[in-house]
Structure 1
């Protein structure tokens, strides 16, 4: 188990170093370790995002597959969403020893206390993870290269494909329990779509919603790297857009 590590961000492991005196948890859950391979991704960063989690017992039995499309988010928000889904599943199913394997070096090092958490979007997710880790008897987190995390990566991509109207490669090999509902902080905001045959909406009145399959021009402005649409216009999750800067 990873111990308390030095660094600007406090380690999460000291509070989870408890001993377990029982051989099994309520509801038939094993007192042994469970391993969760987690992955999250976004197409655009920020862009349409999703995560995938594969949970296995010590004997290799697959216990759960979790995946979810989380809207327009960043890669790092998606990675933290996967970690939180694994922690929520372990808590809900009575597993007190959790090992997480992720290909996100940033998230792993932040959880270990080696890297600072500077992002205002990641900080509340890090704090949520810290609180949940503190409820476990034992916790470990490890970094792995992407090619060793293929199943979780596939689940994340399948969630994004499904939400964007693409045909996934087929159902998962085992049932996929739904992760408990939660709110996730994000900074992702959709950008303005491609130029089209209609004139731009006036900022003084609400812009009509874009018609599916019909290009529409909307105007907006950029603040802190995020595009904000004028006229109260909104765009559905997963839509692809084209931004043309104006002089």
Structure 2
């Protein structure tokens, strides 16, 4: 069964309040699910990456065939140009967001993943919905703590 994920991240300031949005679609089963969450202090790149992670983590069975659509060149290029695999080999030396990249790769390896870049704010319906979910989450009242970001920030003196 083919699954499509439309993902987006948002940050109100960089760093600032942020959120992610995910729309998962399984056309054969005629199922669409939406996920989002907001954080009190994070970055846009972290939210873009977290959206892709959440899409993978929501899959119930291993070896799912999933295409992730993202408007983040950071996320798409890191995978498609295989940068993240080199970062992993070097222990993410001097790279941002190693906590999320490690989590991404754990989930990436469980499935058959294809990454597709789409231009943001260009009228792609499901990508626009993911964007709305992400911005609404960033603007919500009960924001979570992005522990990975805040711990990292506290160590950068």
- How large is the Cα RMSD of the aligned pairs? 2.8
In 2, the alpha carbon distance for the partners of 1:145 and 1:107 equals: 13
Cα distance in 2 between the residues matched to 1:188 and 1:40: 20
Q: Is 1:143 the equivalent of 2:120?
A: no
Unaligned stretches of 5+ residues in structure 1: 1-31, 166-182, 191-222, 227-247
Matches within 5 A, 1:24-173: 32-59=1-28, 61-90=30-59, 93-94=60-61, 96-115=64-83, 120-136=95-111, 138-146=112-120, 147=122, 148=124, 149-163=127-141
Distance 2:6 2:152 in 1: 28
Q: Quote the Cα distance in structure 2 between the aligned partners of 1:61 and 1:188.
A: 41
Between the aligned partners of 2:142 and 2:106, the Cα distance in structure 1 is 33
Per-residue deviation at 1:59?
4.3
Residue of 145, 149, 157 corresponding to 1:186: 149
| Corresponding pairs, count | 142
Separation of aligned partners in 1, 2:96 and 2:107: 18
> Would you say the 8 A contact 1:106–1:115 is kept in 2?
no
TM-score, normalization by structure 2: 0.77
Gaps of 5+ in 2: none
Would the aligned equivalents of 1:49 and 1:69 in 2 still touch at CA under 8 Å? yes
Q: Contact between 1:46 and 1:188, CA under 8 Å: does it hold in 2? A: no
- 2-structure distance, mates of 1:42, 1:55: 21
In terms of Rg, which structure is larger? Answer: 1
- Between 1 and 2, higher relative CO (CA 8 Å, sep ≥ 6) is seen in 2
Q: Would you say the 8 A contact 1:102–1:108 is kept in 2?
A: yes
- Find the residue that maps to 1:145 and give its secondary structure: coil
Q: 1:84-117: CA deviations, max 9, x gaps?
A: 1101101xx2261211000001111112244465
Aligned-residue offset at 1:188: 8.3
Kept in 2: contact 1:74–1:187 (CA 8 A): no
Query: Within 2, Cα distance between the matches of 1:184 and 1:89?
Result: 21
